[in-house]
Amino acid sequence: MRKILLAGAAGCALLAAGCQTAVDTNQETAEAAPAAPTAADAERFLAETEAELTDFYEFSARTAWVQATYINFDTDWLLSRASARGTELAVELANATKKFEGVALTQEQERKMNRLRAGITIPAPSTPGAADELAEITTRLSSTYSTGKFEIGGDELNLDELSDIVEQSRDPEAIKTAWEGWRTVSPAMKADYVRMVEIANEGARELGFSDLAEMWLSNYDMPAADMEQEVERLWSEVEPLYEQLHCQVRAGLNDHYGDAVQPATGPIRADLLGNMWAQQWNNIYPIVGPQSEGPGYDLTEQLVKADYDPLKMVKTGEEFFSSIGLEPLPETFWERSQITRPEDREVVCHASAWDLDNVDDIRIKMCTEVNAEDFSTVHHELGHNYYQRAYNEQDLLFRDGAHDGFHEAIGDFIALSITPEYLQQIGLIETVPSASADIGLLYDRALEKIAFLPFGLMMDKWRWQVFRGETAPADYNSDWWALRTQYQGIMPPGERPADAFDPGAKYHIPGNTPYLRYFLSFVMQFQFHKAACDMAGWDGPLHRCSIYGNEEVGEKFNAMMEMGASQPWPDALEAFTGTRQMSAEPLVEYFAPLTAWLEEENEGRTCGW
């Protein structure tokens, strides 16, 4: 994930393009009406802005990197100050674009103005002190999350250790204890979060938006309301498949745990799904997967058997990108990345990809473990890095994804090519399972991809409600669970405390990372995959296609990435896929054999919740 922090203050030249003063003929000082700005003034403003931001992006990115990889009082302080300066600058520049409303701008100029105006994630108003307060709050939220611990049996456990219990244990009481324990970290965030929303909404209104929800939804080359409808359309295309998967998984959990723990009807207990946030369910495949239709191998076991370590996993990911013709990662990537969790300090372990100078100082930050999940995550994060490097010759304001869903989809599209054939090619398995194993392979992938979709959608739906004032602070937690039940069909393992703030137990809420990008990416990666497989001449089942070693696909893929954000996203999508509309049809095609199997398995069951 690329984290950009604007920092510093803008000079008069940036904020007063086209403004003049005049002295009247009577020698009395008088302030003349500002000269009407021109397209030339706009071009000068944008050039000076991009030059200013180039320096501040690098300064703030390096500050953020140090804080994320070495959390203490001093690095928190530095990040807070850099963030405050950056917010002030971002708001000033966004307000400065108002001068050019009504000026006949080129498409490129207009696009840059819009990115300055709507591209701030958490804006502060120009009120003195607001940016400082906002920065202190956001830094405190991030640090509270990253340093959170809960004691079990006399041992203080961090998120990784608590997650291991949720992922690996089959004792429902132990799982519940770890699940609830992690959520004792977040109630302390709530007051800060409430205040942050107040400040950010005020900042959004100052920039001309009704609230922060409209501002976030205005980053997709269409009106905010249209984008919200687009999201619902995409969800409607995949909802039937999710309901079938939910029905089968619930039946498996009921068989394993019994009615007293997981009833055969109604919502699923969230802590039983093998993930701290019930966002992906792969870890419970052994107890809910089709026992007679297994995938034929366990990738985690194969990685361990082949003596993979975290570095070798990243090297293997790089080799895939090299196989499709992309240049190897720079040596600085290997020197400066955080690939494993340091033992001597607190760090942000949430996996992310960084571009610290907007040129080629690209890195990943992970606490990598040798397992199938992190093997896939490595490919995902490297996708960000290759995208960042591909568009690094665009103007600064276009050095970004066509929209944020593109950035998230790139690496996951590559990871769809981690097929049995590919694993055999790189020596991780000896024999490719027969077609009879396809249901097991698809089921495992559905636990990762299909299970995620409603979670990816409801995360920002909750925030949109909060930003719009539809959800009051007193209802933060109850509305959170109402949405989780509505979209995911899950429920907490027990009654939640009155002071619970369960949204804060997910990194992207205190970290203020918009989440719609992930929902979109889980749809678009299958569009990319189908287009690439068609390009490669693949005529078999879509789920068996791998583009490993196909340089023709890589060349066209890189051409799309090089566009960055310079064109509206439909243009970028069309450049690689030939279509201009996001669609879940390739995803539905990919999982078609599984859908038929699920419908047969669920016959006679009461599906839904």
**Tokens coding 467:** 């930003």
DSSP 55-82: HHHHHHHHHHHHHHHSBSHHHHHHHHHH
Angle of the 452-467 helix axis to the 476-483 helix axis, nearest 10? 150
Q: Give, as one character, the DSSP assignment of residue 31.
A: -
Phi-psi region of 500 (alpha: psi -120 to 50; beta: other; left: phi over 0): beta
Q: What whole-number distance in Å separates Cα of residue 119 and Cα of residue 169?
A: 42
Distances (CA, A) of 583 to 349, 412, 553: 33, 16, 21
In 494-603, DSSP assigns E strands to none
Q: What whole-number distance in Å separates Cα of residue 297 and Cα of residue 295?
A: 6
Q: What whole-number distance in Å separates Cα of residue 179 and Cα of residue 502?
A: 11
Q: What whole-number distance in Å separates Cα of residue 185 and Cα of residue 497?
A: 13
Q: What whole-number distance in Å separates Cα of residue 245 and Cα of residue 239?
A: 10
Token pair 């929800």: residue? 213
Q: What's the gap between Cα 118 and its chain centre? A: 18
| Helix ranges, 70-211 (H) | 73-96, 107-118, 130-146, 159-168, 172-182, 190-206
Q: What whole-number distance in Å separates Cα of residue 179 and Cα of residue 186?
A: 12
Spatial CA neighbour of 566 closest among 112, 3, 101: 112
Decide: helix, strand or coil at residue 30: strand
Phi-psi region of 427 (alpha: psi -120 to 50; beta: other; left: phi over 0): left
Angle among Cα 575, 578, 583 to the nearest 5 degrees reads: 110
Is residue 580 within 8 A of residue 565, CB to CB? The reply is no
The burial class, CB within 10 Å (0-12 / 13-18 / 19+), for 417 is buried
Q: What whole-number distance in Å separates Cα of residue 488 and Cα of residue 480?
A: 11
**Tokens coding 323:** 């196989």
Q: What whole-number distance in Å separates Cα of residue 39 and Cα of residue 403?
A: 26
Is residue 92 within 8 A of residue 126, CB to CB? The reply is yes
Distances (CA, A) of 202 to 185, 198, 205: 28, 6, 5
Spatial CA neighbour of 358 closest among 332, 381, 385, 339: 385
Q: Which residues are catalytic?
A: 381, 508
